[in-house]
Amino acid sequence: VTSLSCFTEGIPLLSVLIFSPLVAAAGAALIGSERLLRWWTFVCTTIIALLSLPLWCRFDANTAAFQFTEQHHWIPSLKIDYALGLDGISLLLVLLTTLIMPLCVLASWNYIKTRIKEFMICLLVMEAAMIGVFSALDAILFFVFWEAMLIPMALLIGVWGGPRKVYASIKFFIYTMAGSVFLLVALIALRLHTGSFSLPGMMGQNYSDGFQYWVFAAFFISFAIKVPMFPFHTWLPAAHVEAPTAGSVILASVLLKMGTYGFLRFCLPITPHATVVFAPYILALSVVGILYGGFTALAQSDLKKLVAYSSVAHMGFATLGIFVLNVNGLEGATLVMINHGITTGALFICVGIVYERLHTRDLAAAAGIGKYMPVFTGFFGVFCLSSLGFPATNSFIGEFLVLAGSFAHSKWITACTIPGVILAAAYMLRTLQKVAYGSTSNPKHHDLTDLNFREIVTLTPLLVFVFWIGLHPQPFVHAMHASIVHVLQQAGQIAAIP
Amino acid sequence: MTSIATFLPELVMLLGALGLFGLTLSDSAGQRARSFALGIAVLAALAALFSLHANGVLFSGAYRVDAFSQLLKFALTGGFAAIVIVSGNLPEIREKIRPEYFLFLTLSVSGLVMLVSCVDALTLVIALELSSFPLYLLVAMRRERTGQRSQMESAIKYIMFGVAANGIMLFGLSYLFGLTGTTNIPLMVAKLTPQIGTPLAIAGLTLTFAGFLYKLAVFPFHFWTPDVYQGASNETTSLIASLPKIGAVAVLVRFVALATPDNHTIATLLTCLAVASMFYGNLIALAQKDLKRLLGFSAIAHAGYAMVGFVSLSEAGYAAALYYITGYMLMVLACFVVISRVSRDGTNVAIDELAGLHHRSPLLAVTLIVGLFGLAGIPPFVGFMGKLSLLTAALAQGHLVLVVIAMINAAIAIYYYLSVVRKAVFGEKSGDNAQPAPIQLDWQTRGLCVGLIVAIILLGVAPARLLEGYGRSVTATLTPPTATVGLVAR
C-alpha cells in the first residue's frame, strides 16, 4: 500500500477518480456481450475502489486543510474554477462511494435482465457525479455534479424499477430539482458577495444577518429534501420501493449523505449565525423524523419500505448530531452517515436477495426462510442488529456519539430521542424474528437456495466494516477529527486556535 | 481596407438564393433543391468560419462587420445547415413547390445573416423584413388537410401580428430619429444619452422594441407563437423556433444599449415583460398535449429568460442573453429533429405519440432527452450554463426578485419537460399497436443528432470561449465608431 501511495504521487487523484468512471462508461458503450458488460463494470469499479485507497493512505489527518487539491480555471468570465479537494469528512464519503459501487454491480448481476448496457452506463455516470459532489471545492462545480446525478438516478428508478417506477422516478426528480433551484440562487448571491464561486472563499466571511437567513433557508430546503428530513421525506419511500436493488443501495448509501454533507460543508461554515438561530427548529424536526420514521417502520409489511422508513429515522440522528453543534455530535453524525451507508446498503442488498428468490418483498411471505437459508440469515441478523445500534456494531458508536453530543446540548432533546432507539430495536427485531424463526408453512420455501458465492462476496465487505467500525472506530474518528473541529470553529462554536 | 471576406457569408447566401430561384423555374424534383440548399448552408457556414475575424464598415457606415456579427453569422449559418437536414422528406410540402420552399428558407436566413450586421435603422428594418416575409409564405405552404385550413389561419395570424408589430416599431423609430436626427444606431446612442430619461425617448425606445419582441415572442407580442407552431409544418416550425430568435436578440442588444444601467424605467419595463413571459409560457405549457404547441409556449418562457439578461442593462447580461439564445437554438433544433422524424406523414406529434420512442429509435430518444433536459436547465447541458450566466448578470445589478422568479419558473418548467421525457423513455405504447415500427434514420439525420448532442454538452461543459467571445464582441460593437454620419442625417 505504501508503494501504491508513492506511485500515485503527483497524479491528480481526484480527477482520475471522477473521470475514470466516465471512461469506463464509454468503454461499456462499445461492449456487446452482456456477460462481458457485467465483468467490465465490476472490474472497472473495483479498480476505481483500489485507486481511491491511496487517498486514505496519503491523507494527513492532523490538518483541517483541504488535501489533494486541484485548481484550474474553468469559466473565467463567471469566476468559476475547476477546484477539487478533500477534508476528513469528504474523504470518508468518497471512500464509501467507491466501496459501494462494485457491490452494486454484484447485487445487480442477475437482478437486471434488460438493457444491461444502459444500466451499467447509468451506474458509472452516477459514480463519477457522486465522487464529484464530495470533492468539489467550487460551488458551481458542486452544483453541476449534484444535478448531473439526477438524470441517471431517475433513469435507474424509472427504467429498471418496480410497478410504480415512473411515478417514483418523476417524484424523486421533481422534489430534488425544486429544492436545488434555490440553492443556485443562494450560490450566485454568495458569489456576488465574495467575488468568486470558490467554496473555501465563501466560508468565514462576515455576511449580514439578514443575508445569512436567506442563504441558509435556500440551503436548508435543498439539503433537507435530499436528506430527507421529516416534512420533505415523502419521495424517499416511493423511490426506494420502486428502485432496483442497486438503485436503492446507491440512494441509501450515498445520495442521502449529500444532504447532510451539504449541511456540514455549506450551512455551518458559510452561514454560522443563521445556523445557530435555526438550529433549535432543525433539532425539533430531527427528533420528529426519528420518532416518525420509527413508528412508520414498525407498521410496514413491505421489507423495502421498512428499511426506507428506518432510513428516515437514521438520517434524523445524523441531522440531530450536526445541529447540536459540538464535537461529539458532529463526529457522531459523520459516523452515522458512514454507518447508515454500510448497514442500510447491506439491508437493501439482503432484501434484493429475498426478492430475487421469492419475487415478493412481503414480510409475511419471507417469514421462516431462515430455516432454508442459514447463511443469509446470519448476514441479515448482523445487519439488523447493526441497524438498531447493537453494541460492537458500527451504528452503536455513531448513535452513542450523537446522543452524547445532544446530551451536552440539551437533556430534553436526548430524552425525546430515546424512544426512537427503542423503536429501532422493536421494528428490526420483529423483522429479524419473523425472517429467521417465523413459521415455515410456506410451501414455496422448500426449494429455496442459500446464498451463492457472488452474494457472499457482495455482503462480506460490508460485514467487515460493520465490525471494524464497531470495534475499532478510532481510525475513522481520527481522520475526521481535525476537519470537524475546523467546521465548528468556522461556525463559531469553538474558539479558533490562534 | 475591406476585402471580400467581410461580405463572404452574405454573398454565398444570396448567390445560393439566386441559384435556387433558377431551380424553381425548372421542373426539377425537390430533392435536387434540397441538396443544393444543403450545399449553400455548408458553404455559408464555412464562409462564416473563414471570415470570423473579418472587420470593416460597409455601405456608408450602415453595415458593420465585426466579431459580434461574425460569431452570430456562424451560429446562424450552422443552424441553417441543421434546418436543411431536418427538412429531409418534407411530407407536408407538395413536391412541386419544394424548390420554392428551399428558396424562401434561404432568403429568410440570409435576411437574418444581414440583420446582425446592420447598424443603421433603415438597413435593419429591411433585413428584418427580408427575414420575416419568406416565413409568412413558408407557413402557408403546408399541405392542406381535408376540412382543415389551419396553416392558412396560422399564416394570416403570423402576418397580421408581424405587420402590426413592425408598424409600431417604425413609429417608435420615427421618434428616435426625430430626437437624434440620425438613423445610425451608434450615433443615436451618443445623441440620446443626455435625454434618455425624457418620456419621449422612453416611448420611442419602447415602441421600437415591439418589432424585436415580436420576433422573440415576448409577452405581450407572443400571441402568434403557439398557433403558428401548430399550424406550420414541422420543418418550418424548426426554422421559426430557432434562428429568428438569435437575430432578435442581436438587434435587441443594439437597441437596449441605448439605455444606460441607471435607467430604471427601461429596466422596470423589461422586468415586467420578462416576468409575464416566463409565467405565461410556463403555466400554459403545463396543459399542452401537442408537442409543438408545448414548445411554442416554452419558447415564450425562454424569451422571458433571455429578457432577464437585458434587464441587467449590462454587457455581461447581453453576452449571457446571446449565449443563452445560441444554446436555445441548439436545444430546440434537437427537439425538432425528433419531432420531424417521429411524425407520421408530417402531422403534428402529440406527446402521447412519443411512447416507446426508446424502442423505435434510441438515438432520437437520447437527442430528445438532451434537448429537453437542456431546456429545463439541468447541468451539464448548455441550458444550465446559460441560465447561470443570465442570473449572475441580473443579480449583479441587484435584481434579486427577478432572479428568484426566474428560478421558480425553472422549477415549474421541469414538470412539463419531464412529462415529455417520461412518455419518450418510460412510456409504452398501449392498445393493439403494441410494437410500432422502428424509425430508420439516414446518415445525415444521425450525424445531426450526434452533432447536436455533442454541441449541447460541449457548450455546457466548456462555455468559456463562446461566452467570452460574445462578451468581448458585445463590448466592441457597442463602442461607437469614430466617423460615420448615417444613411440619413438631418
Distance in angstroms (rounded) separating the CA atoms of residues B235 and B400:
39
Could you say which residues of chain A have pLDDT below 50?
Answer: 498
Residues of A with a Cβ under 8 Å from any B Cβ are 73-78, 140, 143-144, 147-148, 150-151, 155, 158-159, 165-166, 169-170, 173-174, 177-178, 181-182, 184-185, 188-189, 191-192
Query: Are A426 and A298 a contacting pair, CB within 8 Å?
Result: yes
ipTM of model: 0.85
Q: Is the dihedral of CA A113, A115, A119, A120 positive or negative?
A: positive
* pLDDT at B395 > cutoff 90: no
Asked if B384 and A147 come within 8 Å (Cβ–Cβ), the reply is: yes
Number of CB atoms found within 10 A of residue A62's CB: 9
Chain B residues whose CB is inside 8 A of the A192 CB are 392, 395-396
Name the least confident of A150-154, B30-34, B70-74, B319-323: B30-34
pLDDT band at B433 (very low <50, low <70, confident <90, very high): low
> HSE on the CB side for B100, CA within 13 Å?
15
Overall size of chain A counted in residues = 498
Question: A184-188: long-range contacts (C-beta < 8 A, 24 or more apart)?
Answer: A184/A143, A184/B388, A184/B391, A184/B407, A185/A218, A185/B391, A185/B395, A185/B403, A185/B404, A185/B407, A186/A214, A186/A215, A186/A218, A186/A219, A187/A139, A187/A140, A187/A143, A188/B388, A188/B391, A188/B392, A188/B395, A188/B403
Return the amino acid letter for A292.
Y
Does the beta-carbon distance from A158 to B396 stay under 8 Å?
no
Residue B104's closest CA among B78, B74, B140, B79? Answer: B140
Per-residue pLDDT at B446: 92
The C-alpha atoms of residue A63 and residue A480 are separated, in whole angstroms, by 10
Q: Tell which residue, B21, B143, B140, has the closest CA to residue B93.
A: B143
What pLDDT does B150 receive? Answer: 79
Mind spelling out the 3-state secondary structure of A433-479? HHHHHCCCCCHHHHHCCCCCHHHHHHHHHHHHHHHHHHHCCHHHHHH
Residues in chain B closer than 8 A to A76 (CB atoms): 464, 468
Name chain A contacts of B459, Cβ cutoff 8 Å: none
Q: What average pLDDT does this structure show over B282-296?
A: 90
- Residue A486, CA distances (Å) to A210, A482, B435 in order: 25, 6, 60
| Contact between residue A368 and residue A432 where contact means Cβ atoms under 8 Å apart | no
Query: What is the pLDDT averaged over residues B113-136?
Result: 91
Beta strands (DSSP E) in B3-116 are: 56-58, 63-65
Nearest CA in chain A to B468: A77
Q: What is the CA radius of gyration of chain B?
A: 21
Question: How deeply is A383 buried, as exposed, middle or buried, from its count of CB atoms within 10 A (0-12, 13-18, 19+)?
Answer: buried
Residue A437's pLDDT is what? 82
Residue A66 DSSP SS3 = coil
Q: How far is CA A368 from the centre of its chain?
A: 31
pLDDT value at residue A2: 57
Task: Specify whether the CB–CB gap between B191 and B182 falls below 8 A.
Answer: yes
For the four alpha carbons of B300, B304, B310 and B311, in that order, the dihedral sign comes to positive
Q: Which of A76, A177, A182 sits opposite B414 (nearest CB)?
A: A177
A-B Cβ pairs (cutoff 8 Å, strict): 84
Chain B residues touching chain A at CB-CB below 8 Å: 316, 319, 369, 373, 378-380, 384-385, 388-389, 391-392, 395-396, 400, 403-404, 407-408, 410-411, 414-415, 418-419, 422, 425-427, 462-464, 467-468, 471
Nearest residue to A327 (alpha-carbon basis) of A386, A271, A402, A268 = A402
Residue with cell 420501493: A241
Asked if A75 lies within 8 A of B385 by C-beta distance, the reply is yes
**pLDDT tier at B1 (50, 70, 90 boundaries)?**
very low
Q: Is B444 helix (H, G, I), strand (E, B) or coil?
A: helix
CA distances to B36, B125, B248, B307, B369 from B303, rounded to whole Å, are 33, 21, 10, 6, 21
How far is B325 from B305, CA to CA, in rounded Å? 9
- Asked whether the beta carbons of residue B388 and residue A78 sit closer than 8 angstroms, the reply is yes
Cell readout for A317 is 440522528
Q: How many whole angstroms separate alpha carbon A316 and alpha carbon B382?
A: 37
Q: Which carries the bigger pLDDT value, residue B433 or residue A488?
A: A488
Between residues B145 and B417, the one the model is more confident about: B417
Backbone phi and psi for residue A272, each to the nearest 5 degrees, phi listed first: -60, -40
Q: Of A194, A153, A209, nearest to A176 (Cα)?
A: A153
Q: Which three cell numbers stand for residue B169?
A: 416599431
Nearest CB to B426; choose among A74, A166, A184: A166
Q: Which of A75, A82, A197 should be substituted to probe chain B, the one whose Cβ sees the most B Cβ atoms within 10 Å?
A: A75
DSSP state of B65: E
pLDDT at B279 over 90: yes
DSSP H or E run through A84:
strand A80-86
pTM of the model: 0.90
> Chain B partners of A165 at a C-beta cutoff of 8 Å?
426
pLDDT of residue B481: 59
Does the pLDDT value for residue B490 go beyond 70? Answer: no
Mean pLDDT of B44-54: 88
Selection from B233, B231, B213 nearest residue B222 by Cα: B213
Do residues B97 and B141 lie in contact, with contact meaning Cβ atoms separated by under 8 Å? yes
Q: Provide the grid cell at B254.
A: 443594439
Residue B232 gets the label, from left (phi > 0), alpha (psi -120 to 50) or beta, of beta
Count of all residues that appear for chain B in the document: 490
Contacts of A193 (CB under 8 A, 6+ apart): A202, A205, A207, A211
The 10 Å Cβ neighbour count of residue B337 is 26
A75 φ, ψ (degrees, to nearest 5): -125, 90
- β partners of residue A84: A70, A136
Classified as helix, coil or strand, A85 is strand
Residue A438: the pLDDT is 79
Q: For residue B441, is pLDDT > 60? A: yes
C-alpha to C-alpha distance for B154 and B227, rounded to whole angstroms: 6
Q: Which three cell numbers stand for residue A9?
A: 504521487
pLDDT in tens, B454-488: 999 999 888 888 888 888 888 888 776 555 555 56
C-alpha grid cell for residue A215? Answer: 442563504
- Kindly list the distances between the CA atom of residue A57 and the CA atoms of A4, A88, A479, B214, B383, in Å, as whole numbers in the listed order: 9, 12, 11, 62, 40
Q: Using an 8 Å Cβ cutoff, are A42 and A102 in contact?
A: yes
In B, which residues are within 8 Å of A144 by CB distance? 379-380, 384
Residue A289 near residue A297, CB atoms below 8 Å: no
What are B63's strand-pairing partners? B58, B118
Specify the amino acid at residue A269. P
Burial of B345 (0-12, 13-18, 19+ CB in 10 A): exposed
Interatomic CA distance for residues A396 and B348, integer angstroms: 61
The whole-number average pLDDT for the span B357-369 is 88
DSSP state of B93: B
Cβ within 8 Å, pair A188-B407: no
Of B378, B464, B468, the CB nearest to A150: B378
Q: What's the CA gap between A45 and A251, in Å, rounded?
A: 17
Task: Provide the shortest C-alpha distance from residue B388 to chain A (in Å).
Answer: 8
**Three-state secondary structure readout of B146-161:** CCCCHHHHHHHHHHHH
Write out the H or E segment, with its range, that includes residue A82: strand A80-86
